[in-house]
């Protein structure tokens, strides 16, 4: 058995050596590979650090130095913030109960930043189910981006809560906001909203921010001349424009003396067919129970479909071209002959990450299925229910631009910029022809993909560079 202290000493020597080489002029073309390798080494180091942290915590040796607890000891000795020390203690404790995660961290296949999220999933009443699914959860998410990984874990938590009969936490209940003068010359506004309300506010802020961007751009063009402007030349930073957008929102609100009928945004929420059926059945059951409670004498022979009423969220005024009569059956999934399949389908458009469940906003924030079926008053939610293949109809070849329903369909399918190094949400992306229109590419679903502004420009720059090359 190696002496831990001696090994740590040796590690220090190795790292000193490494820092010595890095400081020298390097000619290696493999910087990216080296950074990646160091990231893996960092995971291994984190694994050892957390195991030792746990031992130290349990030993109570921090008490000798007069520290109130291990967290206080770490905070002082490592010079880190309270939250950092607290996370280290909490992750160390959680990791001691997650053997598969611990092994993956020690192998460098799972990063430290994932440990905290897995710890949250395994906490409380879910501990037993987590032990059952731990291996699967780690194996299936190894190649995922962090974003996809956190979504998978969030879905796993929802499904585990269902299995345990735990109520869904209500994010609407924990909403809060504060608005107060902060110091002498600044004002602080902070708000925590549930996802649906957040999407609604954010969309409006972004819309105003876009207007201000256009103003700034026009001003810079007038000042520097067309073709000479980059985002660095704009008068305001993105943060400043967002702040101004908030003020603009207040001014426009104040200018409207009569509340009248507010223009409401339609929020697209997507869910898979199976979750939709399960949630609908649950809703019917809840409603039946409620009715029988109200009127116990009257058995309820014919339970009406709770979604069949005039309040049906699909019937929100469709201001966008999705109401096109050519629109496929996807908004009326119950009418289709299609049967749900239990396994995730890699071809599925909504990228099912765990157990095939999809219940999220356009930008990929996971939301409770109940919210999609019974949205709050005043929010127009458009359900988009996918089948196992989730195929979307062609819209014909006649047009050159991806617009209206077809554009919307591709946003629903891809969800984000299709460049592997990008996670820009679909609503901020352009729909690009995979095979260019000039090269005979059709404007149809199969030939469309999402690219953000940056990657769309990059594609064209690279194409022109290739054309210029001999």
Q: Which stretch binds Zn ion (CB under 5 A): 2-10, 36-44, 104-112, 455-463?
A: 455-463
Task: Find the binder of Zn ion among 75, 112, 419, 449 (CB under 5 A).
Answer: 419
- What is the number of residues in the chain? 470
Q: Which is closer to Zn ion, CB of 381 or CB of 411?
A: 411
- Asked if residue 39 lies in contact with residue 45, where contact means CB atoms within 8 angstroms, the answer is no
Q: Which is nearer to Zn ion, 153 or 450 (CB)?
A: 450
Q: Per CB under 5 A, which of residues 113..142 are in contact with Zn ion?
A: none
- Asked if 291 contacts 302 with a C-beta cutoff of 8 angstroms, the reply is no
437 or 454: CB nearest Zn ion: 454
Contact flags string 258-277 toward Zn ion, x per CB under 5 A = --------------------
Give the range of 7-15, 298-306, 339-347, 417-425 binding Zn ion by CB under 5 A. 417-425
Q: Among 47, 417, 431, 450, which residue sits at the site for Zn ion (rule: CB under 5 A)?
A: 417
Is the Cβ of residue 70 or residue 417 nearer to Zn ion in the bound state? 417
Handedness of CA 431, 437, 443, 445 (dihedral sign): negative
DSSP for 299-361, please give it.
--SSPPPTTSSTT-GGGS---SGGG-TT--GGG-GGGS-PPP-SS--TT-TT---STT--EEE
Burial class (CB in 10 A: 0-12, 13-18, 19+), 29: exposed
Q: Based on CB atoms, which residue is closest to Zn ion, 378 or 420?
A: 420
Q: Is the dihedral of CA 150, 155, 159, 162 positive or negative?
A: positive
Of the candidate spans 341-349, 362-370, 382-390, 410-418, the one that interacts with Zn ion by CB under 5 A turns out to be 410-418
Quick check: 455 binds Zn ion (CB under 5 A)? yes
Looking from the CA of 399 toward its CB, the CA atoms found within 13 Å total 14
Cβ distance to Zn ion smaller for residue 70 or 429? 429
> Which residue stretch of 156-164, 310-318, 390-398, 412-420 sits at the interface with Zn ion (rule: CB under 5 A)?
412-420
Contact by Cβ (8 Å): 312, 383: no
Find the shortest distance in angstroms from Cβ 415 to Zn ion.
Answer: 12
How many residues bind Zn ion (CB under 5 A)? The answer is 6
Q: Minimum CB separation from Zn ion for residue 423, in Å?
A: 8
Angle between helices 238-255 and 195-224 (to 10 degrees): 110
Q: Nearest to residue 384, comparing CAs of 256, 283, 268?
A: 268
Distance CA 428, CA 432 (A): 13
CB 380 within 8 A of CB 314: no
Which class for 121: exposed (0-12), middle (13-18), buried (19 or more C-beta within 10 A)? buried
Q: Which stretch, 19-27, 257-265, 415-423, 438-446, contacts Zn ion (CB under 5 A)?
A: 415-423
Stretch that binds Zn ion, among 51-59, 239-247, 411-419, 439-447 (CB under 5 A): 411-419
Residue in the shown chain whose Cβ atom is closest to Zn ion = 422
Q: Give me the 420-449 binding string for Zn ion, x by CB under 5 A, dash otherwise.
A: --x-x-------------------------
Nearer to Zn ion, 54 or 455 (CB): 455
For residue 226, give the 3-state DSSP assignment. coil
Question: Rule CB under 5 A: which residues touch Zn ion?
Answer: 417, 419, 422, 424, 452, 455
């Amino acid at each position: 058995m190696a002496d831990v202290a001696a090994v740590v000493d040796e590690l220090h020597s190795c790292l000193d050596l490494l820092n010595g080489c890095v400081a020298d002029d390097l000619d290696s073309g493999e910087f990216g590979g080296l950074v990646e390798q160091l990231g893996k080494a960092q995971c291994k180091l984190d694994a050892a650090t957390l195991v030792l942290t746990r031992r130290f915590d349990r030993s109570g040796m921090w008490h000798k130095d007069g520290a109130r607890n291990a967290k206080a000891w770490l905070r002082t000795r490592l010079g880190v913030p309270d939250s950092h020390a607290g996370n280290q203690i909490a992750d160390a404790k959680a990791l001691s109960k997650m053997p598969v995660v611990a092994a993956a961290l020690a192998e460098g296949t799972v990063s430290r930043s994932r440990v905290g999220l897995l710890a949250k999933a395994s906490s409380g009443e879910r501990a037993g189910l987590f032990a059952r699914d731990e291996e699967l959860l780690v194996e299936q998410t190894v190649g995922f981006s962090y974003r996809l990984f956190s979504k998978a874990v969030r879905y796993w938590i929802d499904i585990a809560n269902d299995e345990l009969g735990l109520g869904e936490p209500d994010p609407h209940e924990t909403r809060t906001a504060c608005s107060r003068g902060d110091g002498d010359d600044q004002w602080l506004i902070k708000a925590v909203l549930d996802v649906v309300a957040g999407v609604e506010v954010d969309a409006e802020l972004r819309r105003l921010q876009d207007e201000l961007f256009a103003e700034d751009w026009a001003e810079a063009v007038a000042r520097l001349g067309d073709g000479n402007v980059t985002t660095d030349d704009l008068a305001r930073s993105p943060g400043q424009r967002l702040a101004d957008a908030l003020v603009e929102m207040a001014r426009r609100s104040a200018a409207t003396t009569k509340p009248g009928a507010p223009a409401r945004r339609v929020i697209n929420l997507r869910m898979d067919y199976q979750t939709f059926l399960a949630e609908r059945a649950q809703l019917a059951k809840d409603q039946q129970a409620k009715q029988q409670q109200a009127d116990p004498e009257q058995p309820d022979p014919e339970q009406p479909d709770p979604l069949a009423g005039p309040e049906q969220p699909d019937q929100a005024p469709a201001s966008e071209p999705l109401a096109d009569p050519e629109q496929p059956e996807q908004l009326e999934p119950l009418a289709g002959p299609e049967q749900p399949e239990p396994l995730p389908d890699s071809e599925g458009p909504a990228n099912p990450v765990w157990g095939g469940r999809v219940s999220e906003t356009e930008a990929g924030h996971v939301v409770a299925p109940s919210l999609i079926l019974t949205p709050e008053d005043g929010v127009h939610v458009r359900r988009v229910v996918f089948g196992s293949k989730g195929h979307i109809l062609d819209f014909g070849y006649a047009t050159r631009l991806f617009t209206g329903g077809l554009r919307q369909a591709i946003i629903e399918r891809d969800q984000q910029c299709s460049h592997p190094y990008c996670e820009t949400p679909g609503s901020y992306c352009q729909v690009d022809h995979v095979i260019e229109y000039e090269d005979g590419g059709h404007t149809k679903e199969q030939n469309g993909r999402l690219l953000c502004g940056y990657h769309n420009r990059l594609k064209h720059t690279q194409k022109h560079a290739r054309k210029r090359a001999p």
